[in-house]
Amino acid sequence: TIKDDSPITVKEGNIIKDGFNEKLDDLRDILNNGMTYILRYEEEQKKRLNLTSGLKVGHNNIMGYYIQITVKTLDSISKIPEDYHERATLKNAKRFTTGKLKELEEKIIDAEEKINDIEYEIFCTIRDSVIKETKKILETTKNIAIIDVLTCFAEIAERYDYCRPKITEDDKIIIKQGRHPVVERINISDKFISNDCYLDTENDQLLIITGPNMAGKSTYLRQIALICIIAQMGSFVPAKSASIGIIDQIFTRIGASDDLARKLSTFMIEMTETAKILNYATPNSLVIIDELGRGTSTSDGQSIAMATLEKLHKLKIKTLFSTHYHQLTEINLPGVKNYHLDIIENSDGSINFVRKLKLGSTDKSYGIHVAKLAGIPEDVIIRAFEILEQIEQKDNFKTIVKENGNKASSGEIYNSFIIEKKNKLESLNLELITIKESLSNYNDRLGIKKKELEKKNIEIEDLEAKIKVTKLKASPNKNQIKKKYIQTSLFKPPSSNKQISNDQIKELISRLESIKIDSISQVDIKEQIVELRKTIYKWNLI
C-alpha cells in the first residue's frame, strides 16, 4: 500500500501506491493531465454540435472555464443545447458553461487538496491496522533480523576460514593465529600476518607492546578486542583457535583528536578516557591502550603512562598497552611482559615490516625511516638523523625501580629527580671554581715562565757566542779568533793559555739544548691555557 520511496512525513503526500484506491487514481490523473481533459471535452462539444471550428474552451480568473462560440458559428447551429448556460456576450462571440465543465473545473482545482485528504485517510486506516498487530510484527521482525545475522555469520565463517571459539568462565584470553576481520579483507593481495595472544590476571596480565611505526601495533590491539566481541556475539572468529573468558566490558584508549565544540584538547580527551578506564574497569574487563601520553611533553607523557601501568597492574586488569616510550619496558612487576612487532633492517638502512609479534622489547621506533617512506625530502631525513643522534647522547631519562620490583611513588620520583639535578649543579659549580683557580695558577706560572724565558734567551745568546769563540779558538787562525772575540762584549775573553776541549764544547751544546727544551715547554703551557679557556667558556654557556 505504502510506496517504497515515500516521503518522510505524511503531509508531503504521494505516499499511497497507484491502483489501491480508484478515486485517488482519478484525482491524480486529473491533477497530472488537467489540460488533456479540457482539450478532450472541447473535442467532444465540437462533435456534439457538428462543428470543426468556431468553438473553444477557455479560462480566466473571473469566470473560470467556459465554452466560447463565435456569432457566425452560432448562426449555423439550429439549436443551442439546453445544458449550455450563457455567461457573457461579446461583440463577435458568446460564452457558455455547462454542469460537466464546472465539475471538471472543480476536480482540477480541488484535486491536490482532495488527494492529500484521501491519502491521509488511507494512511490512518493502515496505521490503525498495524497497531493492532504490533506484537506479532515486532516478533516477526526480530526473528527475521536474527536469521539475517546468523546467516551472515555462517557465510563469513565458511568463506574466510573462521573457527568456533570456546567461551569459558575463567579469566584467560587465548587466541592462536588471530587475524583482524576487516584489515585482512581490505588488502586481499597481501597475506595477513596472524598473531597469538595470551592474557590472564596472574602471569600474563599486562602486555607492553613496542615496535616501529607502521609495524602493526594498533592493528594487533584492535584485532584482539574485535575477536573478543565477535566471540561473545555468538559468531565464529578469525583465528586458528580461541578460548575466551567472559568479558564484562572492553575499554579502549585509541587515536588522538581534539573536540573544538566541547573545548577539549587532544590531551584532555586522552586523560578523560584514561580516567574512565581507571575508575570503572574490573578484573573481568579488557583494556586496550594505544600510545598513551603522546598529546603532551615526553617527560609528562612517560610519567603518566608509567603511573597508569602501575594502577592497571594493581587492579589486576587484563591490558594490552602499546607505546613508543621504550623506558616503560624497564618496569619490573609480576605479570607484566614485553612484546614487540618484528622488523628486518637491511644493510642499506631500509627496513621491512615482518609484523610478527615476538617476546621482548625493542629500543627503536624507526620513525625517520617511515618519514622517508612517506616522501619527506632527503635533506630533512639526513638532518633528522643528525638531531636524533644528539638527542640520544643527551637522553638521561631513568626508570626509578626499587628492590623486589616495587615502584617508587610519584613524589619519590620527583624528589629524586630534583636531588639529582641539584647535585649535578653543585658538582658543576665546584668544577668551575676548580677550573678558575687552575687558570689563575696557570696565569701566575705563565708570568714566571715568561721572565725565565727572557733570562734563558739571554743565556742562549751568551752560550751561542761562547761556542763560536771556542770553535774559532780551536782553529789555527788566531788573528781571526781575536777579531771575533773583540766583537762581543757579553763575557770576558779567556786567557790565551787556556785550552777548550771537545768535551767542554759538547757540554755547552747540551746546556743550550736543555734551555731550548725548557723554552719550548712554555708553548705547551700556553696551549693548555687556551684549551682551558675554551672549556670555561663552554661551561658558561651551559
2 occurs within a structural domain: no
- State what percent of residues in the chain have pLDDT above 70: 79
96 occurs within a structural domain: yes
The domain boundary residue, chosen from 334, 368, 400: 400
- Average pLDDT value for residue range 15-40: 84
411 occurs within a structural domain: no
Up-side HSE of residue 300: CA atoms within 13 Å toward CB? 7
151 occurs within a structural domain: no
432 and 357, same structural domain?
no
| Lookup result for grid cell 443545447 | 81
270 and 229, same structural domain?
yes
**β-bridge partners, 58:** 66
Q: Give the per-residue pLDDT at 496.
A: 43
Dist. CA 404–CA 334, nearest whole Å: 10
Assess whether pLDDT exceeds 60 at residue 160. yes
Q: Give the per-residue pLDDT at 500.
A: 46
Q: For residues 297-325, b (16+ Cβ closer than 10 Å) or e, as one string?
A: eeeebbbbbbbbbbebbebbbbbbbbbbb
Sign of the dihedral defined by the CA atoms of residues 99, 103, 109, 113, in that order: positive
Pairing assessment for the beta strands 173-178 and 250-253 based on DSSP bridges: unpaired
- Sheet harboring 93-97: ordered strands across? 55-60, 64-70, 93-97, 85-89
425 and 373, same structural domain?
no
Dist. CA 242–CA 69, nearest whole Å: 92
Is pLDDT larger for residue 176 or for residue 371? 176
Dist. CA 208–CA 328, nearest whole Å: 8
**β-bridge partners, 252:** 288
Is pLDDT larger for residue 454 or for residue 492? 454
Q: Give the per-residue pLDDT at 75.
A: 86
The domain boundary residue, chosen from 87, 117, 132: 132
Q: Give the per-residue pLDDT at 204.
A: 92
Dist. CA 271–CA 62, nearest whole Å: 75
User: What does the mean pLDDT of the chain come to?
Assistant: 79
174 occurs within a structural domain: yes
- Average pLDDT value for residue range 453-472: 73
248 and 191, same structural domain?
yes
71 and 23, same structural domain?
yes
Domain count, the chain: 3
420 and 341, same structural domain?
no
Model pTM score = 0.54
Query: What are 214-219's contacts with CB under 8 Å, separation 24+?
Result: 214/353, 214/370, 214/373, 215/341, 215/342, 215/343, 215/353, 215/355, 216/341, 216/353, 216/355, 217/290, 217/322, 217/341, 218/254, 218/290, 218/322, 219/180, 219/183
| Position 278 confidence tier, pLDDT thresholds 50, 70, 90 | very high
CATH number of the domain at 227, please.
Answer: 3.40.50.300
For 184-245, list the strands marked E by DSSP: 195-199, 206-210, 241-245
Helix (H) or strand (E) holding 274: helix 266-280
65 occurs within a structural domain: yes
Is pLDDT larger for residue 144 or for residue 535? 144
Assess whether pLDDT exceeds 80 at residue 248. yes
210 occurs within a structural domain: yes
Assess whether pLDDT exceeds 90 at residue 480. no
Contact 100, 82 (CB under 8 A): no
Q: Give the per-residue pLDDT at 379.
A: 87
Which residue type sits at 282? T
271 and 184, same structural domain?
yes
Is pLDDT larger for residue 228 or for residue 108? 228
3-state helix/strand/coil string of 58-92: EEECCCEEEEEEEHHHHHHCCCCCCCCEEEEECCC
52 and 105, same structural domain?
yes
Q: Give the per-residue pLDDT at 536.
A: 47
| Position 477 confidence tier, pLDDT thresholds 50, 70, 90 | low
Assess whether pLDDT exceeds 90 at residue 239. yes
DSSP letter assigned to residue 200:
-
Q: Give the per-residue pLDDT at 321.
A: 92
Q: Give the per-residue pLDDT at 498.
A: 43
Question: 30 is written with which cell numbers?
Answer: 486529473
CATH number of the domain at 79, please.
Answer: 1.10.1420.10
Query: Which residues, including other chains, have CB under 8 Å from residue 388's CB and lie 6 or more apart?
Result: 368
Q: Convert the pLDDT of each residue in 358-408 to its tens digit.
A: 898 886 777 888 888 888 888 888 888 888 878 777 654 333 333 334 444
**Domain around 36:** 10-132
* 3-class secondary-structure state, position 497: coil
Q: Convert the pLDDT of each residue in 60-100 to its tens digit.
A: 888 889 999 999 889 888 888 989 999 999 989 999 999 99
Please give the angle made by the CA atoms of 149, 155 and 156, to the nearest 5 degrees. Answer: 90
| Position 422 confidence tier, pLDDT thresholds 50, 70, 90 | low
305 and 183, same structural domain?
yes
User: Which stretch of 32-46, 190-204, 281-295, 426-440 has the lowest confidence by average pLDDT?
Assistant: 426-440
Pairing assessment for the beta strands 166-168 and 241-245 based on DSSP bridges: parallel
Q: Is 8 exposed, middle or buried (0-12, 13-18, 19+ CB in 10 A)?
A: exposed
Q: Convert the pLDDT of each residue in 280-329 to its tens digit.
A: 999 999 999 988 877 777 788 888 889 999 999 999 999 999 988 888 88
Is pLDDT larger for residue 224 or for residue 499? 224
Question: 271 is written with which cell numbers?
Answer: 586523560
Query: What are 397-400's contacts with CB under 8 Å, separation 24+?
Result: 397/299, 397/302, 397/327, 398/327, 399/306, 399/327, 399/328, 399/330, 399/331
344 and 255, same structural domain?
yes
CA dihedral 140, 145, 147, 148 (to 10 degrees): 140
137 occurs within a structural domain: no
326 and 178, same structural domain?
yes
Q: Is 432 exposed, middle or buried (0-12, 13-18, 19+ CB in 10 A)?
A: middle
DSSP letter assigned to residue 452:
H
The domain boundary residue, chosen from 342, 374, 400: 400
Assess whether pLDDT exceeds 90 at residue 238. yes
Dist. CA 28–CA 71, nearest whole Å: 37
Q: Give the per-residue pLDDT at 485.
A: 45
218 and 94, same structural domain?
no
